[in-house]
Structure 1
Amino acid sequence: MASAMKVTYLSDKQQFIVPFFNENYIVDCNTQSICHAANGTVPGIGALILILHYLTFFETRAEPVHKWVSLKEIPNGGMLFYPAFHKESICGLIKAFGHQSSLLLECAKRIGGQQAGFGDASAVFQAFPQIPLCAVIWEGDEEVSANATILFDPSIEHYLHIESVIGLGGYLATKLIKLAAPESRRGHDVW
């Protein structure tokens, strides 16, 4: 499992070290706990679930294909769940970054995002070692509405079930939106 998921397994401690959005988390099989490797804090329930699902869902070895698709193109329900995903995640990105796309890049850097070449601003994130995500913003003006999307590598279907794919996209959107909040930009974390 560690090899396929590109995580570290410490057999003497029965621990997995799982990179998640540019930070390492320790999944301890003995204590049945997950904590941040650097400071020992326990992540929120959403992160806990995503980390566990990443370790346990693996279906077949698949490398990222370095192609981007919408949630609608992910098999087993992407099209079905897209309207709710758009409402819960994409609309928040549009509101936070739709008239200030450069802010996306500023926020993305704080969680390991690298500038990409899509839209008015975009960034690629390494959510997990085998799962990249891309957030894209198109600025709006008087004539054209702002827009946004989160793109996935199609190989994600081999690493997470559709509910977790949606959860991961939502997790990224929420992190970016919180980082865009004025109080966060002044240096205070809001979560």
Structure 2
Amino acid sequence: MEIKKDNYFENARNFFLVADQEELVRKLGLQADGDFIYLRVMDIQYRISQKLGDIQRSKDGINYMYEKSHDAALSIFDYLTWSKDDRKLSGEFVSLKGMGFNSHAYLFEGHGGIYERGGAMFSGKSGKLSKVLDRFDGKKMGSADVSSVFEVFDGFPICFQFWEGDDEYTPRIFFLWDANTAQFIHLETTFYLLNMVLDRMAELFEEEIN
């Protein structure tokens, strides 16, 4: 299955292709060899074709395969092209609403949204979930039944929280963001980024189960 190449994808890739790629490499402290720009995303090594904008991923940094995730592509392109040269973390984690971003709340919090789907995925399996989070070299927190702060991109952390369900509440996940997230990605991109994160967590979760 090929990546979905809709207008969002094509626009994001074109922004990357017309950008000063040497400047992108410099501002983000990345490696490049004239053919590819290399980027770590959680525990996966990525490389992006500097001429075509094709995105490939590798678990070992040697054997690469084409990325098929539309969410991953949009997240990576946005991080590369939008991140500010003077970006700086605030050190304060807040909700999207805490940053004044409410337009996509139903995609996160609504019935069948990201938080509900993630809660159902990890319900009753908190031990395996903790092992998955360990793969991201995160810092365990005490703010939920399972929680961790880990970097999605180098220097860009998010806070993951999971609460097991009970008689009153269904299991839920929640994500908190650095208050300066908009210096790294568009806030609209958070939806794609969380889908990318959960897809990778689901892959690792299956490995732990099997």
Q: TM-score range by the shorter chain?
A: 0.7 to 0.9
Q: Is the Cα–Cα contact under 8 Å of residues 138 and 148 in structure 2 kept in the other structure?
A: yes
Q: Is the Cα–Cα contact under 8 Å of residues 130 and 146 in structure 2 kept in the other structure?
A: yes
Alignment gaps of 5+ in structure 1: none
**Correspondent of 2:53 among 32, 39, 48:** 32
Q: Does 1:185 align with 2:208?
A: yes
Q: Does 1:118 align with 2:139?
A: no
Q: Is the Cα–Cα contact under 8 Å of residues 53 and 164 in structure 1 kept in the other structure?
A: yes
1:155-166 alignment to 2 at 5 Å? 155-166=180-191
Name the CA distance, whole Å, in 2 between partners of 1:148 and 1:32.
33
Match of 2:12 in 1: none
Q: Is the Cα–Cα contact under 8 Å of residues 120 and 172 in structure 2 kept in the other structure?
A: no
Name the CA distance, whole Å, in 2 between partners of 1:138 and 1:94.
7
Q: Which one-letter code corresponds to 1:163 in the other structure?
A: E
Name the CA distance, whole Å, in 2 between partners of 1:142 and 1:128.
37
Deviation at 1:105, TM superposition (A): 0.9
Which TM-score applies when normalising by structure 2? Answer: 0.74
Q: Is the Cα–Cα contact under 8 Å of residues 35 and 49 in structure 2 kept in the other structure?
A: yes
1:1-12 alignment to 2 at 5 Å? 1-10=24-33
1:42-121 alignment to 2 at 5 Å? 42-44=66-68, 45-75=70-100, 78-87=101-110, 88-121=113-146
Percent identity, aligned pairs only, is: 20
- Alignment size in residue pairs: 181
Name the CA distance, whole Å, in 2 between partners of 1:82 and 1:60.
29
